[in-house]
A and B are shown apart, each in its own frame.
Chain A
């Protein structure tokens, strides 16, 4: 989070291939990369961050397939139920329901047991029971497929069995009766996707812009960097909000807009790198071989800026996720029934008095993700540029 002190053109990170031929270039790069990787693996906080991040990703993307509820599926009988590991409805509730149903059928319930998704019960009456009495039980939301398994005492006692519709809501449900677990998962998908895609957009714009500006230099550089300076002093968050308001709220627009606003630092960093790179012998050699400017930028400049760029991406991703959730929090992000962590937190704040779990769960996941990204970013920075702090 020290991006406000956007670094002056960082000095060249270690020995880079100068006069070596191309294949050796890759060789040397890989060993640098291996060194960095080893440093990263040794950093416990960074590895913990990576682990949590992987877990959250797995949770968000694989989770919805395992739970079996859809994110927009509404359970009208379970609106804003608190989180619980017990299945719903509870056993006592089922007992009540079956007794009420039995009373309608003018029978009484003997022993009633529920195990897993099915139940067995006995029905008693003074007179012979019409087997059609089970229909009263089927008519409830909670029971279905009731059949008579045995008839005893000349039909005055029926043994019945059937299935119970039971749902698990470990995170509770929201105020529309949707499963919060699945919504947190889907929200995670959106937040992570926006984070990654918007960072990619900013990466592409920033790297291209910075490399072109730095490589061409001179008046072009002056103009391009002056433009960046002007953009720097714009109140960007407000511009983003304005864009979203005026052009409607679509998923694609959101990450495009966020990406288009976060490329400025990237452009500066890449420009600084490019300025020092373009004076090196291998660029001179490329010029001597008659490569065009664009070919040199693409093949020789950009690949060599990768280190600081990777570090910077890990700073951009949490920033972008914050911005997205900020927009969603204000109701300007993705639209219901689709959701993101920001939107869920926003919903949670309105109901926190009555249903604090709707605030707690999305916040927990969001904060954990941001933390992990921060630790991973710090670790990457230490690994790729050990001299910096």
Chain B
């Protein structure tokens, strides 16, 4: 809650102290209309009153009207675009977690082997190369040169359209997961209880899957929240590159058009997401690791 409050407060006052207003167009409006507009948007009230109003409205889910997309409220725009972003983000998260954990476990089991080096060098590339380079390159290779997949757009939402953006979005996070998993797996495999399990003659598979991974996956759970936040940030770029009509795209368009309420609404929405995710991960973590439950 304090985070959300801080986000709303900071963004609200940033707007008010910023030079230029939503109505300072290239062709100035007649003073009479200007006055009416200001009254209509309640900008004539004292600042503290506007601030309280905005807080009240946001708390009730009303982000105000969009300045650029006339006839739409910010809430409507977001309801329109959110499903696209959520779908893309979920797929990317699944790909990143599954792919990253699998790669990390395999690398850890063959520590210092060829597979390990391969996975780790790919992971280094994934961490280093920003997704606004990966996205265009993927699109260049698979859409333009090979023309196997469409270069952009949502289309009918089928896998053909979603494959490239999902990969581009997931790759950096996949790399992080792979590195994390490898590190904690190597540590877990050295632990005493693993040696005991081996001594009991359990199969390699049982040792790795039920005993080693259980402990090793804890740091991965705790990275889920930052990862989701990074995916949200990344989706701004990915949606722009692949022309997906999601929240990120609206955010960029809003920012470029100086659509203040839209930008603010998006920021608040994303903050809500991050806060909720943090909470969920904290709860999940407490469930998985009894040691921190009574902390």
Binding site for B on A (CB under 8 A): 1-2, 4-5, 230, 233-235, 237-239, 241-248, 318, 322, 325-326, 329-332, 342, 345-346, 348-349, 352-353, 356, 359, 363, 366-367, 370-371, 374
Interface pair A330/B133, CB less than 8 Å apart? no
Residues of A within 8 A of B132 (CB): 325-326, 329, 342, 345-346, 349
A318 CB contacts on chain B under 8 angstroms: 128
Residues of A within 8 Å of B264, CB to CB, are 242
| CA A318 to CA B124, docked complex, whole Å | 14
Please give the residue numbers on chain B whose beta carbons come within 8 Å of chain A beta carbons, in ascending order. 2-3, 6-7, 10-11, 14-15, 18-19, 124, 127-130, 132-133, 135-137, 139-140, 144, 176, 179, 219, 223, 226, 229, 232-233, 236-237, 240-241, 251-252, 255-256, 258, 260, 263-264, 266-267, 270-271, 274-275, 278
Return the chain B residue nearest A331 by Cβ.
Answer: B256
Could you tell me the distance between the alpha carbons of A144 and B145 in the complex, rounded to whole angstroms? 42
> Which of B130, B144, B252, B271 contacts A353 (CB under 8 A)?
B144
A247 and B16 alpha carbons, distance in the complex (Å): 11
Complex interface: chain A residues within 8 A of B179 (CB):
1-2
Question: B236: shortest Cβ distance to chain A, in Å?
Answer: 7
Q: With both chains docked as a complex, state the minimum distance between the C-beta of A228 and any C-beta of chain B, in angstroms.
A: 12
| B94 CB, min distance to chain A CBs, angstroms | 20
Are A233 and B275 neighbours in the complex by a CB distance under 8 Å? Answer: yes
Residues of B within 8 A of A247 (CB): 18-19
User: Which residues of A sit under 8 angstroms from B6, Cβ to Cβ?
Assistant: 230, 234
The reply to whether A329 and B128 form a contact with Cβ atoms under 8 Å apart is no
Contact (A246, B14) CB under 8 Å given A4-B223, A5-B219: yes
Query: How many A-B residue pairs lie within 8 Å, measured between CB atoms?
Result: 117
Judge whether B263 and A245 touch: CB under 8 Å: yes
Residues of A within 8 A of B219 (CB): 5
Which residues does chain B contribute within 8 Å of A349, judged by CB atoms? 132, 135-136, 241
Known: A233-B275, A346-B132, A363-B133. A242 touches B263 (CB 8 A): yes
Residues of A contacting B2 with CB < 8 Å? Answer: 230
Check A239–B252 contact: CB distance below 8 A: no
- Once the chains bind, are A374 and B136 in contact (CB under 8 Å)? no
Contact, CB under 8 Å: A352 / B144: yes
Chain B, Cβ-Cβ closest to A234: B7
Q: Which residues of B contact A234 (CB under 8 A)?
A: 3, 6-7, 10, 271
Write 10 A-B pairs (CB below 8 A) sorted by A numbering. A4-B223, A233-B274, A237-B236, A238-B251, A244-B255, A330-B237, A349-B241, A359-B140, A366-B133, A374-B128
Is there an interface contact between B19 and A235, defined as CB atoms closer than 8 Å? no
Q: Check if A235 sits within 8 Å of B229, measured CB to CB.
A: yes
Most A CB contacts (10 A, CB to CB) among B124, B133, B219, B266 go to: B133
Closest chain A residue to B176 by CB distance?
A: A1
Q: Is the CB of A330 within 8 A of B255?
A: yes
A352 with B128, Cβ < 8 A, contacts A4-B226, A242-B14, A345-B133 known: no
A52 to B90, CA, bound (A): 38
B271 and A235: CB pair below 8 A?
yes
Given contacts A345-B136, A349-B241, contact A367 B3 (CB under 8 A): no
Known contacts A247-B19, A248-B19; is A241 also within 8 Å of B255 by CB? yes
B152 → chain A, closest Cβ, in Å?
10
A-B pairs with lowest CB-CB distance, top 3: A246-B18, A349-B136, A233-B3
Compute how far the CA of A342 lies from the CA of B136 in the bound complex, rounded to whole angstroms.
Answer: 13
Chain A residue numbers with a CB within 8 Å of B255 are 241-242, 244-245, 330, 332
CB of A330 within 8 A of CB of B271, answer no
Question: Inside 8 A of B130's CB, which chain A residues have their CB?
Answer: 322, 325-326, 366, 370
Contacts of A371 in B (CB 8 A): 124, 128
Chain A contacts for B176, CB-based, 8 A = 1, 4
Contact assessment for B129 and A370 in the assembled complex, using a CB-CB cutoff below 8 Å: yes
Provide the residues of chain A in CB contact with B3, threshold 8 Å.
230, 233-234
Complex formed: what's the CA distance from A325 to B130 in Å?
A: 9
CB pair A239–B11 under 8 Å, yes or no, is yes
Q: Which residues of A contact B274 (CB under 8 A)?
A: 233, 235
In the complex, the chain A residue whose C-beta lies closest to that of B131 is A326
Say yes or no: A235-B232 contact (C-beta < 8 A), given A5-B219, A246-B18.
yes
Closest chain B residue, CB of each to CB of A374: B128
Q: Choose among A5, A233, A247, A352 the residue with the greatest number of B CB atoms under 10 Å from its CB.
A: A233
Q: How far is A370 from B10 in the complex, measured between Cα atoms in Å?
A: 32
For residue A48, give the distance in angstroms from its CB to the closest CB of chain B: 14
Residues of chain B within 8 A of A243, CB atoms compared: 14
Asked whether, in the complex, the Cβ of A239 is within 8 Å of the Cβ of B237, the reply is: no
Chain A residue with Cβ nearest B267: A238
